[in-house]
Structures are given as structure tokens and as C-alpha cells.
A and B are shown apart, each in its own frame.
Chain A
Amino acid sequence: MRSLGAIVLRDLRLAMRDGGALGTALGFYLIVVAMMPLAVGPDLKLLARISAGVLWVALLLSALLSLGRLFESDYEDGSLDTIAVAGPPLELVVAGKAFVHWLTTSVPMALAAPVLGLLLNLELSVMPFLALSMLVGTLAVSFLGAIAAALTLQARKSGVLIAVMVLPLYVPTLIYGISAVAIATTPPGSPWPSFLLLSAISVGSVVIGPIASAAALRYQVQ
């Protein structure tokens, strides 16, 4: 546990000290969302209808930006060699790193989403629910994304490759994330079934992601 704590603490510290990854992701998120009203025009009803979808898609794209660095810097400076064989099971380490990615990338964006929702005439009453569903749903983003990041570790310019590999995997998260918010916006009907399915996808990703990523990393460090 001490080892796991050490790596989580180190990654958090690095994320805070660099700061670049979060700044880029948040900036990108803001710009994509802000361009949407300019593109579709000032029809408030239309904006309100598409707001949840726009916020979700933009969040998925922004979270992708920093995924490529998840293992890359450890690979480049040689830390990954030691981390892969000398510490606790690699699966746990990967889970720790993916968790830090979620904490430093997705959580700030999920919390910023309601504010950006104002630009899109998102209904005030669903904002807390939108943020909650994003917080839960984006766990899948980090943990499934780790698989692609591990697989493309030695590929140069891996960013686009990661996007192509991993965006299809995000489709279920996107569908249930949006349907939860849509149902919450237009009662009657309970948004919780969709929310629970969204949670189930995240839980599954948290289990599968580290195992698959660790297998890929073991191959990469050979």
C-alpha cells in the first residue's frame, strides 16, 4: 500500500507542478463548448436541447489530450522499468496512475461543465446531476484510455492513434451519460437507471483497464 501511495503522491505532485496538462485540457474544453453557440446560432431552445451532448463530447475529446502522457514520461526516463518489475503488481500501479489521471483531468472538467453549461442554456436544475454523472462516467475514460496509452507507448505521435482506438470504447459511456441527463431534463421518468448503467460501465472499466494495460506494458518494456 505504501508503494501505491508513493506513486499516487508522485503523480499528483507532478501534475500540480507541470500544470500544463490540466490547463490544456480545460482550455480546449472551454473553447470547444464556446464555439458551439457561435456555430448553431442563438436559438436558445436548440442550444438547451444539445447542451448535454456537446458538453459530454467535448469532455471526452479534452480528456484524450493528456492520455498519451500517462505512461510516456515514465517510459522515457526509465522509471517504468523499475515500476514494472520491482514494486507491487503492475495492475495496481496502473490503477493508481489512471486514478490520478481521472482526479487531475476529468474531475476538474466535470466540475467546470455546469459553468460551461450556462453558455449553452443548460437548465439550472440538471446541472448538479450533469456534474455527478460526468464524475462517475469519466472513470471509464481514464481507465479504458490507459489501455490505449499502454498499447501505443512506443508509437510516435500516438495522440491520434489513441483517439481512434479509444473513442469507440467511450460510446456506451456517452450514450448513458447523455440519456441520464436528458431524462432528468424532461420528466417524467427516472434518470437513475441510466445513471446506474453508466456507473456499471465505469466499474467494469476500472477492473478491465488496469489488467489490460499492465499486460500491454509488460510487453512494451521488454
Chain B
Amino acid sequence: MAKTLTGDDIALERGGRTILSGLTFRAIAGTALLLTGPNGVGKTSLIRACAGLLPLSTGRIELAGGDPDMTIGEQSHYVGHLNAQKPALTVRENLAFWAGFLHHGGRSDGGIEDRVEVVLERFALAPLADIPFAYLSAGQKRRAALARLLAAPRPVWLLDEPTVALDVSMRDLCIAVVDEHLAAGGIVVAATHLPLPFRALEELRLGAVAEASS
């Protein structure tokens, strides 16, 4: 059975204010779900709700075909606005940390170091690997943050503005990596303002939903 991330009649609140209500969505394995819409419409909140960071006020989010013993968060990569990297550690050390930390639940092979090297190469980070994260440019930092998507295998990718600050070639690289994940039967939910031409995608315009329901 293909994995599917479904949201059923979701409502979300931030600071006592309802920002999303009556939202139903489906993210099917192999097809990226793009969340678009104006600022403040709840794209980030929806992604955080999928990851399990933000409790739903009504409705539920389920991962069909996933591991029933694990939460969605434990089967997901969440890459938010912030890069989640330590400025004092090198790019390699940061990535190795996430590879080790996120291996929880996944298969634990001994080759984390090898995997880290492969991922560094893939994201063209090998020349930067021994530089402390603090000294990278904004685009390089973003790339280092995205690299953890491949550092540990997980079926669901929750991406919040993944390509912000990336140049054209690096944006293409990011899209290629996501396409591979989709081709391998992965689920992708991405919030974005920039066009992200994934191999297969479905768009969910959040503003339209909110207006239709009000």
C-alpha cells in the first residue's frame, strides 16, 4: 500500500485565534503536496502540526501505511525556517549529529560516517565540511540544513520554504534530491512562495480554503 499522509477536517489555533479550519488534505507517496498562499495563512502552522509540534484543535492527521508504533514526527524530517545547526560545530559535525540522532527507529547500520560523507558530497558541501557552520553564507547554511534529509532515511519530509536563499543550481539540486525521494515512494509536504517544479506535485492554496470556509 502506498503511504499517504491525510489530514481530516483540521482546525489550528495560534494565540487563541483560529487560523485554519475545516481543512482536509492528502499527501500521497510519490506526489509532493505544495502549500501555497499569502503570508500568515497558516502554512508553517500546518507543517508544524503535521510534525506534531502544534496540537490540533479539531480533526486529525494520520499516516496510512506507516509504522503504527511510531508518531508521525518520528517518521518525518522537519526542516523549518531555522536551520537547526550549531554555529560552533563544523558542517560535518552538525550533519553527523543529526545522522546519529535521527537514526532512532530507522535501521541502525554502522556506516553513519560513510553516509555523512556521501551526503556531504551530494550537497556539494565536501569543500566546506571542516568549516564551522557560523562562517557559511545564508545559502550554504540552508544547504547544510537540507543535507540532513538524506543523513537518515525517513518516509515523510516536511519542508518549510526549503529553497529560500539557494541559488539556481543549488535549487535544482534540492529539487533533484526531493524528486529522488518521491520516486522512491516518499511523501513530501512543502510550504513555499517560490515555484518548486517537482516531478509530480499537487498544490493546496491555503488562502482559498480559508476564504471558501468563511
Contacts and interface: CB of A to CB of B under 8 A. Distances in A.
B88 A81 contact: no
Main secondary structure of the interface of B (DSSP, over half): loop
A221 B53 contact: yes
Given A77-B84, A82-B78, A13 B103 contact: no
Contacts, number: 83
A79 B86 contact: yes
Interface in B68-89: 71, 73-74, 76-78, 80-89
A87 interface: yes
Contacts of A45: none
A222 interface: yes
Contacts of A77: 82-87
B100 A2 contact: yes
Most buried by A among B51, B80, B85, B104: B104
B138 interface: no
A83 interface: yes
Given A17-B88, A78-B81, A2 B104 contact: yes
A10 B76 contact: no
A108 interface: no
A207 interface: no
Contacts of B87: 77
Main secondary structure of the interface of A (DSSP, over half): helix
B71 A222 contact: no
B73 A83 contact: no
Given A5-B100, A6-B100, A79-B84, A222 B78 contact: no
B88 A82 contact: no
Interface string B27-63: 0000000000000000000001001111100000000
A3 B84 contact: no
A7 interface: yes
Given A3-B104, A87-B104, A13 B89 contact: yes
B43 to A, nearest CB: 16
A193 B89 CA distance: 45
Contacts of A76: 82
Contacts of B89: 10, 13-14, 17
B102 A86 contact: yes
Given A10-B86, A17-B88, A87 B102 contact: yes
B161 interface: no
A10 B97 contact: yes
A6 B103 CA distance: 10
A18 interface: yes
Interface string A62-82: 000000000001001111011
A81 B97 contact: no
B137 to A, nearest CB: 17
A100 B52 CA distance: 27
B93 interface: yes
Contact of A2 (B55, B80, B108): B108
A133 to B, nearest CB: 34
A84 interface: yes
A13 B93 contact: yes
A86 B77 contact: yes
A2 B78 CA distance: 20
Nearest to B49: A222
A78 B71 contact: no
The list of the 4 closest CB pairs from A to B, nearest first, reads A78-B82, A85-B73, A6-B100, A78-B84
Given A78-B82, A85-B76, 5 more contacts: A9-B100, A14-B88, A73-B86, A81-B78, A85-B74
